[in-house]
Copies of this chain bind each other. A is one copy, B any other.
Amino acid sequence: MLFYIPFKPESPKTRLSRLLSPDERVEFSFCMLDDVYSAVEESGHDPVVLTTHRLDGYEPGFDLGYETRLCPEPLTPAVNSVLDEAPVGVVMSDVCIATPDSVLRLVERGGDTDLSLAPGRNGGTNAFVSWTSEFEVDYHGTSYIDHLETARSRGIDTSTVDSFRLSTDVDEPDDLIEVLLHGEGMSHDYIADRFEVVENDERRVDLRRLDDGG
């Protein structure tokens, strides 16, 4: 099955500005993309980067042998433009602690249903597989709730995948803690080269920039 991975290499991850420079944010975005691409590939499915811009020229350090489809539109119309290819999967490029197993759980639920959704923190929809061309997305704050409602109103049988890994997209500084603790790929290594997890006085978890990082 094709799994589209929407990606926008321009000014990514601005909410990480406190911790990462603009160049680092671009590099880190490519690391996350690579991890998601690999997870889909190792699950036995076929990843395609649905990218707003051509990828060459951004990151000469990366092997950009990705399958790509260029789509300069915003996220919602870009994803909707591929949904008539159902069955089709979509997974966000920053769900970088996804594993092949978690991707497979999305696909397996389809035995009974026409749509399999993985909620993200804060109401997002981090990944889904649709077996029907009747489904349509609208990404925004509580998209997960609205996607459930869209499915219900169109008579699309829906299941949910209860996955910590798929629920974790990387937007905020705290999300990098999950990358450090649970990641296994390039994004883990990129952050581990620059930060360590420390416990503060209250034995709570924080990130500390390593002196030689950057």
Contacts and interface: CB of A to CB of B under 8 A. Distances in A.
A204 B167 CA distance: 16
B178 A102 contact: no
Contact of A102 (B144, B162, B167): B162
Contact of A141 (B99, B101, B204): B204
Size range of the chain A interface in the assembly = 20 to 34
Q: How many copies does the complex hold?
A: 2
Interface string A169-198: 000001001100110000000000000010
A145 B204 contact: no
Nearest to A120: B164
Given A99-B162, A119-B164, A123-B181, 4 more contacts: A140-B203, A142-B199, A164-B164, A164-B166
A166 B142 CA distance: 20
A199 B140 contact: yes
Contact of A144 (B141, B165, B181, B204): B181
Nearest to A122: B205
Given A121-B178, A164-B162, A142 B101 contact: no
A95 to B, nearest CB: 12
A205 B163 contact: no
Contacts of A123: 177, 181, 197, 205
Contacts of A142: 181, 197, 199, 205
A74 to B, nearest CB: 12
Contacts of A163: 162-164
Contacts of A122: 174, 177-178, 204-205
Closest 6 CB pairs between A and B?
A: A164-B167, A141-B199, A141-B205, A140-B203, A122-B205, A123-B205
